[in-house]
């Protein structure tokens, strides 16, 4: 029986520790092909390359594991497009996984995330997909505790199939002395980044800005991804790319003079 074909991508770049963890786990389950950015692409959202050249080269990043891998000059969404239509043009992946991202992609961060954009691009292309993120921005972030849960979620996705037009947004709590309590299927919390812009001067005395700020959670619900993560659960949020506010169609039709 043929092993499932799993496409792996990310936004931190093909040499990031998170993608190596993800590839190692995926390799236990199926045949793995990697198409990932050649450098960091965090915060790119769903950007695609339309005015510049796109380069795609074989990578040696996973030669030690015998994994076919390619590095791309474009965005995470570009990587998935090239993988489907060029690298794997005669084959259809059974699952696309993205990550493991170095930092949280819960709540509103899903809109900015290159990790999740790779997963959502796969869903747009009709491929089941999962984006994995670890809520740890530290330079020496430890991904080891995610391994059994990544394997469990990949196996469940292959066995039961992810609903059509849906990508799963999975976030892991930072490793701590407390064991992870389990996995919760959640909704996206109503929260946002409250940005501030620090005005500075460069060595030539020219003004520039550095974006800072803090994360503000307005949501008191106990069914959200933010609640799950704070309480040491893994959050799983099913995401869709149809951004229509369906419940507001009637309001506009009935209340506006159109």
Domain residue spans in the chain? 5-190+220-255
CATH node for 5-190+220-255: 3.40.1210.10
| pLDDT for residue 1 is more than 80 | no
Q: List residues forming the annotated binding site.
A: 11-12, 42, 101
pLDDT at residue 49 in the model: 95
Q: List residues forming the annotated binding site for a divalent metal cation.
A: 11-12, 42, 101
- Report the share of the chain in percent with pLDDT over 90: 91
pLDDT at residue 215 in the model: 87
| pLDDT for residue 193 is more than 90 | no
pLDDT tens profile 110-140: 999 999 999 999 999 999 999 999 999 888 8
Phi-psi region of 26 (alpha: psi -120 to 50; beta: other; left: phi over 0): alpha
Q: Decide: pTM greater than 0.85.
A: yes
Query: Helices 147-160 and 17-29, interaxial angle, to 10°?
Result: 50
């Amino acid at each position: 029986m043929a092993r499932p074909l799993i496409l792996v991508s990310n936004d931190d770049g093909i040499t990031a520790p998170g993608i190596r963890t993800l590839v190692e786990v995926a390799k236990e389950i199926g045949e793995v092909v990697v198409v990932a950015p050649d450098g960091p692409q965090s915060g790119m959202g769903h950007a695609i390359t339309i005015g510049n050249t796109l380069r795609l080269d074989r990578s040696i990043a996973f030669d030690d594991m015998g994994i076919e891998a390619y590095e791309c000059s474009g965005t995470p969404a570009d990587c998935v497009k090239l993988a489907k239509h060029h690298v794997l043009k005669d084959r259809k992946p059974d699952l696309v996984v993205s990550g493991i991202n170095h930092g949280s992609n819960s709540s509103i961060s899903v809109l900015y995330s290159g990790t999740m954009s790779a997963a959502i691009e796969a869903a747009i292309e009709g491929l089941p997909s999962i984006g994995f993120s670890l809520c740890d921005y530290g330079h020496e972030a430890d991904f080891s505790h995610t391994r059994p849960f990544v394997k469990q979620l990949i196996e469940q996705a292959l066995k039961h199939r992810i609903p059509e037009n849906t990508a799963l947004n999975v976030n892991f709590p930072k490793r701590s002395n407390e064991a992870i309590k389990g996995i919760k299927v959640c909704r996206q919390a109503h929260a946002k980044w409250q940005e501030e812009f620090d005005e500075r001067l460069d060595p030539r005395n020219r003004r520039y800005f550095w974006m800072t700020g803090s994360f503000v959670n307005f949501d008191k619900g106990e069914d959200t991804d933010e609640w799950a993560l704070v309480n040491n659960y893994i959050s799983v949020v099913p995401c869709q790319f149809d951004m229509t506010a369906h419940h507001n169609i009637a309001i506009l039709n009935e209340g506006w003079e159109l």
